[in-house]
Amino acid sequence: MKSHPITDRVISLASKVNINLSQAELIQAAVNRNEGTITDHGALAADTGKFTGRSPKDKFSVSDSKTEDIVWWGEINKRYDAEKFDILTEKVIAHYQGKEIFVRDAYACADEDYRMNVRVVNESAYQNLFVHHMFLRPNQSEIDSIDPDWIILAAPSFLADPEIDGTRQENFSIINFTKKIYLIGGSGYTGEIKKGIFTVLNFSLPVEENVLSMHCSANIGKNGDTAIFFGLSGTGKTTLSADPDRALIGDDEHGWSDKGVFNFEGGCYAKAIDLSKEKEPQIWDAIKNGALVENVRFFPGTNTVNYEDVSVTQNTRAAYPIYHIDGIAEPSLGPHPNNIFFLTCDAFGVLPPISKLNLSADTQLKLQGLKSESQTLKQHFQHVLALLFYHCIQENMPKC
């Protein structure tokens, strides 16, 4: 592992350092540390603690000369003071004193022209397994020579002092685009890790590379026809892109360059609520030896997951490397899309179940920001009757 001033300091403070462990080694470490249990399908079942979903109100970006005039600041993109970030970084680094840590080198973006190397420090083995699955995995020949572009310090057991540290409450996720450091504290929910890097790419790719970053899934047909599926969490991106007759490019985060579409990630993070082999066979089969399932419960007296049990959260999840899906696109790239779907969870029955729109209607809906909230999309939103809205553009899309 190549030297980096931040991770060098963390490693020097830790009592035990696990660097780039294999999938099997991470699962064994998680079991030994009582972080999880092996299911009857061979997956690791772990709980993420107090937080079973992301906390967007506690997500910040450092406001400085690089970001001040470019970021659209407000309720979504919250400012964080640069000096406070430096102080908080020192606190998080010191927090690793005497702890066992798990360090992993990985990268984002399947298109080598936009590759971004990431080094992640975790306090727990199950979180490092998530990183192994969700980011792209370097070849063994290059693993020791990677220079990280970004550092992620994930410290769930570190709690901020809001009055001193300038956070909203004890948990936080803060991105510094200038120093290329991402801090996560107070939350063991793994989705904070992946969505933080998605935020980084949402800034760097459009601003610096003229590439569109997209929250969508994508697959490709036998004739090379790419389809992309836009939608908020829980609207069906992962399910619809896992098509046995089409090769999966990715299930959640992609870029669209002047060459075509590419996956940001190396794995899938599927919702597991009510999962069954009959309804979603590819996802069911992907949750096998090595996969990670979060916040699920077993049938009594067994190690069989009851996916209908939402006693912990409705946001139960499964993370697995993309190669757990049969028939993937290798590498995770595709040409310009032929078809674009917009998926909406319609809580109010306003939309017809399926709509094919012309360019004018498409533009109008996007400008209106048409969407609605569902139980799995927003905490405490109750009694939702959801319809799935498909919007498909059949014409070939122009180049960016």
How far apart CA 154 and CA 170 sit, in angstroms, is: 14
Look up 237 and say whether it is catalytic: yes
**First CA to last CA across the chain, in angstroms?**
38
Selecting among 195, 246, 254, 336, the annotated active-site residue is 195
Look up 233 and say whether it is catalytic: yes
Selecting among 91, 215, 259, 378, the annotated active-site residue is 215
Look up 317 and say whether it is catalytic: yes
**Whether the Cβ atoms of residue 181 and residue 150 lie closer than 8 Å to each other:** yes
Give me the count of residues in the chain. 400
Selecting among 7, 52, 54, 104, the annotated active-site residue is 54
Look up 179 and say whether it is catalytic: no
Selecting among 78, 95, 237, 246, the annotated active-site residue is 237
Cα→Cα distances 49→35, 112, 170, 296, Å: 10, 36, 14, 12
Residue 54: how many CB atoms within 10 A of its CB?
A: 19
Omega within 30 of 0 (cis) for the link into 331: yes
Look up 194 and say whether it is catalytic: no
Look up 190 and say whether it is catalytic: no
How far apart CA 176 and CA 204 sit, in angstroms, is: 12
| Burial classification of residue 289, based on how many CB atoms lie within 10 Å of its CB (0-12 exposed, 13-18 middle, 19 or more buried) | middle
Look up 363 and say whether it is catalytic: no
| Burial classification of residue 158, based on how many CB atoms lie within 10 Å of its CB (0-12 exposed, 13-18 middle, 19 or more buried) | buried
Q: Which two tokens stand for residue 322?
A: 């993309």
Look up 54 and say whether it is catalytic: yes
The single residue listed with the structure tokens 């094919």 is: 356
How far apart CA 153 and CA 46 sit, in angstroms, is: 20
Selecting among 95, 119, 137, 317, the annotated active-site residue is 317
**Whether the Cβ atoms of residue 235 and residue 246 lie closer than 8 Å to each other:** no
Q: Which two tokens stand for residue 370?
A: 């048409």
How far apart CA 329 and CA 314 sit, in angstroms, is: 31
For 122-162, the DSSP string reads: ESSHHHHHHHHHHSBPPPTTTGGG---SEEEEEETT----H
Residue 71: how many CB atoms within 10 A of its CB?
A: 18
The dihedrals phi and psi of 79, each to the nearest 5 degrees, come to -70, 145
Q: Please identify every residue annotated as catalytic.
A: 54, 195, 215, 233, 237-238, 252, 317
